[in-house]
Structure 1
Amino acid sequence: MNLIHMAASAGYTTPPSWRVLTKTGYFVGLSGVIGSTVTYAASVRPALREPTRHGGDVNVIRRRTASYLAWSGVVLLIAGYFQLAARLARAGKGMPFGDALSPARIWDFLRAPAGKEAWIAQGTIYLVQNLVLLVASATLITLFLPRARRHLNAIALTALPMGLAVTLIAAVPATAPKDAEKVLDLVFDQVHIISGVVWIGGLAFLAGLAASRRRLGESAGMLWAEIWRYFSFVALVCVGSVLTSGLWLSWKHVGSITQLWTTTYGLFVLIKILLVLGMVVAGAVNQFWLTPRIVQARRDDDASSLLHLTLRHFPKVVWGEVALGIAVLAVVPFLSGSARSEAGSPPAVSSGSVFAVGALLVLTLAASLWGTAKASDALARRTVPTPV
């Protein structure tokens, strides 16, 4: 508590509860839409398209997918409105959040003229963003209708780019960036957000689908083995992107290792890092322990063990990752300001040596992820006992 008090006295401002709830809810909504549509397109749909799939199992997963996507549209629509009200409450001199919920006030905010140096009004950017959000949500909500569910592929693949556009449009600066470093900040921030919500949202989506195991047949284990295999690649890309962008953002806002525990901002960064590492460890358990056993069960044509592994053991670990991921989203609203400013450190200044060190770290990370995939494949080729 002393460390937090000292750091807070140096300039950290704790966000109000409505800010924490609205921002967390907004990222939950983004995770639901972006994570589920990307994961459906990259992992579930390819597995369902195999001609040998049992029609009953495919229909169960398609129905559950449609329901999940429809509800994710509802969540994003509600969360988006509260997030827009929160933006209004923080704009200019600010106003009580309760007043900012007024549709009339929000409409005035969206129509406000551009500033002197702005190339576009900030309200216009938010207006376009929320129109796209509305269309994306409405598209997914149509999946509540039985007739629309016949077009699940088209609806999911239509909502996917719109979901991505929701966060990308909001990142468009109203004034031109001052230098290339500001552009890099925007790019890495969006890479961090998108890869994070795909990772967390994809895990939650698959864990939700796996809950339908009681309605699936004995052959569903083969189907789910393919789904988990496809998603392993998606998760690996997300991990690499989150860590790479996180390196840049951490360097920009944290001036030294000690600032992780001597500033409030740094403490929340440290909590977030530990939570993300927990997700990585949980993913490694699946990659190094369960995946090889799934491969062996497929090789042995052991349908019972395959079903048990893919729909019982694997989802248990995934639910742990989802819990950690939600905790990460709950920490994000507290990352306001900078540990550098709290500690009185100079702002980060890029240079050739900084980029060289960053490139070396990224190459090292890429090599470690490549080694992880290869090690998992090697373990899968070995004979391992299958848990019962």
Structure 2
Amino acid sequence: MSSLFPHALPLAAAAPSTPLGPFEDSAVTWTTWVTLMGFVGLTALALVSVGPVARRIGPDTLGAVTARLSRVAVVLGVLAGPAVLTDLAHGASDSGGYDYGAAWNSLYDGSNGGRLLGLEVTLVLVGAALVAPLTVRKVAAGPARAWLLGAGLGAGSVALGTTKFPDAVPDDWGRTSFETVMWMLHLIGGSLWLGGLAGLALLALRGAVAPADRGEFWAPVIRRFSVAAMSCVAAISLSGLFLYWEHVDGPSQLFTTMYGRVLGVKILIFGALLLLGAFNQFWLHPRVDALRATGDERPLRTILVRDFPVVITVEALLGMTVLFVAPFLHGSARNQAFQASAAKHSAVSLDDLPKIPAKEVSASTWVWGTSETLAVIAVMIVGYWASGVLARRRTAAATAVTTTDPGDLITA
């Protein structure tokens, strides 16, 4: 039939393909996310989890740990500027190369998008400049430490936020504002969690904490970071549930669309991160607390050297893998499934296929959303409480044991 009527339109177009996109594009985008989020996570760790504990130990410890985290944070902050420009240059090139001139000209070009891009580059470099003095141990242990870290963290957080701020006046202020808040929870939560893990791995290396201070340093730091990490997990989970609702119509689309398959890989990696976090929360942390309570340094050092750095390093690597997978999420599973169905009954070109409208928010949406929020918060609170009870029980059991072999306390 086609040979007789070569110019006839087909009754239906082929199902639209949704390729992952070039590997190079995702690698460039991954570098941008790692540098921006790493800067935010490291400064937050130094300010919230590490600083108060190190200050109680002494100025030497405070200066050493702050300087180590600040040096890496500054490097990431400085690299974030060129990383953002490279990402823009790659997107601006028509030939698949890098048009840095067009990327530079897009900053502060008078449009809202240009202002946001300009702020992204400017603020992360300002944040790096604010943290830079803390790379010197004497300054890192001084009174300006908290102010510089706080200002740097604020600048970096706003720079990260500009990636998801709307660049046009929205038609629906309520929905757009809510979406922006969800993205901020997703990005800031991921930064504090994954950047904090990387920072703890850095501090576990030799030279940051004196051997005599490790017992006094690590147990409270781990506990403080645990609170922050569980809060971040709650924020990521809640924002992830909203984004799933917005872009996916049912679990079947996790297997039938490219967006869903990529999201499924991301969910699996996130699940592995949660399992490792549970291992830390319910196995490693209580044992560290118990060993510290007994004053036994040898097994504590053994656990910290053998188990803790390995676990947090694996967690940090998995977190960076999540960031690498995320740029492959193009479009929406709902839209891909809708266009695939429409292409079976249409002669319209693939580029002209209609898009499915955004989901409408109803009363049931708010009911389900509220229920999920309360459930996630309850699980986090119960998990933290249960791990605390377990830690206190192990501490009581360890202090009650009389042994001549300190190594036996590991199994206490």
Q: TM-score, normalised by structure 2?
A: 0.82
Q: 1:107 aligns with which of 104, 107, 114?
A: 104
Q: What residue in structure 2 maps to residue 166 of structure 1?
A: 159
Q: 1:226 aligns with which of 197, 220, 228?
A: 220
Q: What residue in structure 1 maps to residue 338 of structure 2?
A: 344
Residues 228-277 of structure 1: CA distance to partner in whole angstroms, max 9, x if unpaired?
11100000000000000000001111111010011110001111111111
For residues 179 and 74 of structure 2, the distance between their equivalents in structure 1, rounded to whole angstroms, comes to: 33
1:99–1:316 CA distance, 2 compared to 1 (3 A): closer
Q: What residue in structure 1 maps to residue 195 of structure 2?
A: 201
Stretch moving more, 169-178 or 8-17: 8-17
Q: What residue in structure 2 maps to residue 367 of structure 1?
A: 378
Q: What aligned pairs does 1:1-388 form with structure 2 within 5 A after superposition?
A: 9-50=15-56, 53=57, 56-86=60-90, 88-89=91-92, 95-102=94-101, 105-114=102-111, 121-143=112-134, 149=140, 151-179=144-172, 180-212=174-206, 216-344=210-338, 346=356, 347-382=358-393, 383=397, 386-387=409-410
- Structure (1 or 2) with the larger CA radius of gyration: 2
For residues 285 and 207 of structure 2, the distance between their equivalents in structure 1, rounded to whole angstroms, comes to: 19
Q: Where does the alignment leave 5 or more consecutive residues of structure 1 unmatched?
A: 1-7, 115-120
Identity %: 30
Aligned residues of 1:219 and 1:303 also touching (Cα < 8 A): no
Q: What residue in structure 2 maps to residue 117 of structure 1?
A: none
1:19–1:55 CA distance, 2 compared to 1 (3 A): same
1:95–1:23 CA distance, 2 compared to 1 (3 A): same
Q: CA RMSD in A?
A: 2.4
Stretch moving more, 131-140 or 192-201: 131-140
**1:226, CA displacement in angstroms?**
1.3
1:152–1:54 CA distance, 2 compared to 1 (3 A): closer
1:277–1:24 CA distance, 2 compared to 1 (3 A): same
Q: What residue in structure 2 maps to residue 4 of structure 1?
A: none
Residues 139-175 of structure 1: CA distance to partner in whole angstroms, max 9, x if unpaired?
3345556776565444322210000010223333222
For residues 270 and 30 of structure 1, the distance between their equivalents in structure 2, rounded to whole angstroms, comes to: 25
Q: In structure 1, what residue type is equivalent to 2:385?
A: K
**1:219, CA displacement in angstroms?**
2.8
1:161–1:296 CA distance, 2 compared to 1 (3 A): same
Q: In structure 2, what residue type is equivalent to 1:164?
A: S
Residues 110-147 of structure 1: CA distance to partner in whole angstroms, max 9, x if unpaired?
35454xxxxxx321221222221221233334555677
Aligned residues of 2:63 and 2:139 also touching (Cα < 8 A): no
Q: TM-score, normalised by structure 1?
A: 0.87
Aligned residues of 2:51 and 2:66 also touching (Cα < 8 A): no
For residues 214 and 41 of structure 1, the distance between their equivalents in structure 2, rounded to whole angstroms, comes to: 16
Alignment partner of 1:257: what SS? coil
Residues 67-125 of structure 1: CA distance to partner in whole angstroms, max 9, x if unpaired?
22232223323323223324x52xxxx623534223xx2233235454xxxxxx32122
Q: In structure 1, what residue type is equivalent to 2:100?
A: L
1:137–1:82 CA distance, 2 compared to 1 (3 A): farther
Residues 274-302 of structure 1: CA distance to partner in whole angstroms, max 9, x if unpaired?
11111111010011011111111122121
How many residue pairs get aligned? The number is: 366
Aligned residues of 1:27 and 1:197 also touching (Cα < 8 A): no
For residues 56 and 134 of structure 1, the distance between their equivalents in structure 2, rounded to whole angstroms, comes to: 28
1:46–1:178 CA distance, 2 compared to 1 (3 A): same
Alignment partner of 2:18: what SS? coil
Residues 183-203 of structure 1: CA distance to partner in whole angstroms, max 9, x if unpaired?
222221121111112111110
**1:181, CA displacement in angstroms?**
1.9
Q: Where does the alignment leave 5 or more consecutive residues of structure 2 unmatched?
A: 1-13, 340-355, 399-407
**1:215, CA displacement in angstroms?**
6.4
